[in-house]
Every structure is written in structure tokens, then in C-alpha cells.
Structure 1
């Protein structure tokens, strides 16, 4: 079973958590894209009723509409029943690094408020500690990116401005900001670092999601493994 098959497997398993009359937070990324397409098919086939998607990005919104998932905005809902999203790293305590899709701010806003936050990954995303493989994405005000990059040296981190693909210049988020990818030697206390990074003036949000995930579904060659906090 290859990686794409594992992604489809966990996306299909995630559908078991969706019920009628739910508001579902829709994450951004390749694994969640499979989930959105499958969810749309269930809605179109009338296997689910009165289910609405709350997208975390323009990409998720466009895909939801194309797939037949009716969408709502954050100010239209009183509660979010469940949010479904991927992750770039998952540690043994279910702390996450997210943000390779540059949608981390809205992802955190929605997933923090969800009754259940369900994370979909393949086995390669499991790590011994956060920062083992991936940098921490940090969304920053464009005018401040250089001074924030310098300030991150206090944390023994090396940061690079994320540059665009198929466009000139840096990646620009849905919020009109830049992304710094900060590589830390080892993140010992994810929650503490998450708070400290957000206290830097000019930082909008960072990609450490500590103490938020409720369930992680892991795609493996043997099937889907369920991890719970």
C-alpha cells in the first residue's frame, strides 16, 4: 500500500465520524482533499443530510463546492461539531505541526473551536518529538518578516521566508501575509513554544497545534490505527 492509498484509507475511515445535521470544519491539504471529495459524494447520494462544510482556506472552499459539499462561513455558525484535517508531524502526545498549505491561522481558529478535532495522517508523519523532520510555519505581517526572522535566533531557530512556486516572490497566505519556516533543534515543550512565538509582535499565528487534537487516524500498510488523547 503506497502513501496515496493510505491517505484514501484514513479519509474513508473519517467519514464514519460524520452524522446528519453536522457542521464540519474542512482542513487544507492532500489527505483532507480525499475526505472532502468522499464527503461530497455521500451528500450527493443522500447518505448524509443537512451537513455543511466550514472551509479553512480558499482551496478547501473551492474543492468543497466542486464536490457538492454546501459551505458556510465562521460567522454563520453557532458551533462546529467536528473538524477534519491533516498534519505535517504528530508527536506521541498528539501535539502537531501544521501549515505546509499556509492555511494555519484559519485552521487553528476553526479546529480550536470544534467539538472534536480529527486528524488524518499516514505513518510517516509520526515523530518522536516535534521539529524532528519539519520546520514550524509562522504566519507574519509582511513588513515585519525580516525582524521576526532575526528574533527567532533567540530560540536557536533558523528561519527562511517561504517562496512561491509558479509565482515570483514569497508565498502569500489567504490573509495577505508571509510565511516563515522556522527550524528548531528540538521542541521540548510545544505548548510553551506555541505561546512564546505568538507573543512576538508581528506574528499572526504559528503552526504548533498543542493540546488540540482529540483523535488521530494513522494510515498504515496494515490498515488504520486510531490514536486518542
Structure 2
């Protein structure tokens, strides 16, 4: 499985760097390219408003992997990393980088937060170390809204001297995933038809990597995985 994933990742990166996009370039010094197709269970192809890909039409996101729901998302992520003890309970799916207040208070506010962030469904699962934080998996109904909210949250944390500029979230056509795993597992996420989302001000990936303008101005998609 690892060998197949490595080959798939290599082809994904070659496809990303070989094709020049007409949508516009990323940050200065970066290259823009075609997004990798969905693999290992993810569906690739264009989406349309109303099917969980609102705001993605015509952008690089429309060429990323797509899932039908949380069950398929869990199966997809399982191709890159361990994903056990799956839960969709509100108290299990309150995530510190999205929700505010305590776990109990944030759980009560999930419907409001989901609407603000364009989140359709939430699910979490455990990695190899069950004592660590679980993977954060989201099915997205409006990717533009998700990127907008994420950009505002990331800027606020940086302004407060918290957080960092590392690429933490991987997105597909209609999902977002933050996994707590090894660097190798994070790189395997690229073989699933995802790219890293980063909205840090003035973020620039290393020269050997590739970036593409995301839906929201000031956000980019990259095939660079921070070590």
C-alpha cells in the first residue's frame, strides 16, 4: 500500500508541476500548476453549487478529490494514515482551531459555527497514538466560506502571537482534513487528491514546491508539506 501511495504521490506532484494554469499565479517565486486528481477512493472532477462544492467551480479546487460524505472521507483518509474510533458526536468534533469556548459550549454552537465556516458535516478519528488529538475531518458545503473563515482565524492568531505559518489543513473539492500524524503520512495526503491550504500573510512555499491561488484572495494551495 505504501509503495502504491508513493507512486501515486509522485504522479500527483508531476502533474501539479507540469501543467501551467490559466487561473493566475501564486505568491512571487512560486509556480502554478494543475491539481492532482482524486485517488484511493476520492472522486475527481468538477462540482457545482448545491452539491457540497459551492464556490469551487472553475478553480483548482474543482479538480481535487471529492467525497460523498463522512463515511467516504474516513475511508479516503485511511489510505494515508490510521483512522480508528470514528465519531460524529458534537462533543468529539469540537476543534480548537475552528470552535470557540469550552468543548461543551462549543458543541452547542456547532450549527452556528458550521454555517459561518461552510461546514456540512464533521467527523473525527484517532491516529496511531490514541492519546494524541484526533484527526479533524470536515465535509464542506461552501469552500469559499471555509477559506474566508480560516483566513480570518489564522490572521487573528498570528496577530495575537499565537499559532504559526505552517500548512496544517489539506483540502479536496468538498472536504478539509487536519491530521495529527507523521510527516510521511502528511505527504501521503497529496496522493489522495488534496493540496495544503495556507492563508498566512505573505506566506511563500519553498522554491522547489508549487503553489496556486485558492478561491479566497490571500490564500494559496500548495504541494509543500512542512517537515
TM-score scaled to structure 1, two decimals? 0.30
Structure whose residues are more often strand by fraction? 1
Flag the structure with more relative contact order, 1 or 2, with Cα contacts below 8 A and sequence separation at least 6. 2
